[in-house]
Structure 1
């Protein structure tokens, strides 16, 4: 693993909004893939394989969903939002 790659950007799972939490989940998932396969050329070469495989795309979505679930829990599910802000 690269010493320079910070796996939790800003070293915090706290976000101001669910939208920011979702963006953080996507970023963490992408960083996980980058650490798992550090060779950018290999990642680029593999991209068409998973881009055209429904099972792999579903797995990517599940990974992001798992990350988002952890972030939501860390943020107390953004319980301070008023009902109008939840829409």
Structure 2
């Protein structure tokens, strides 16, 4: 699915969260983990899934996307803000 999303967004690399798992396309695990802002962004989406549950989150995310597009989607706005949160990852155990 991450590959499909990357092609649709014309992105060379992409991370996509489904539930509590971050799926990568066009980037290695090491490349992803070395970009702390990217990790925080995706970790924010994991927290959003935790808050809403998988089906409710997907419904709300798609509704936001249809109403406001990708950039102005409130879930993406929150994830971009989380990129600067130095304590966000304290809530995770990364495998």
TM-score (norm 1): 0.44
TM-score (norm 2): 0.41
Q: Which has the higher helix share?
A: 1
Structure with greater contact order relative to length (CA < 8 Å, sep ≥ 6)? 1
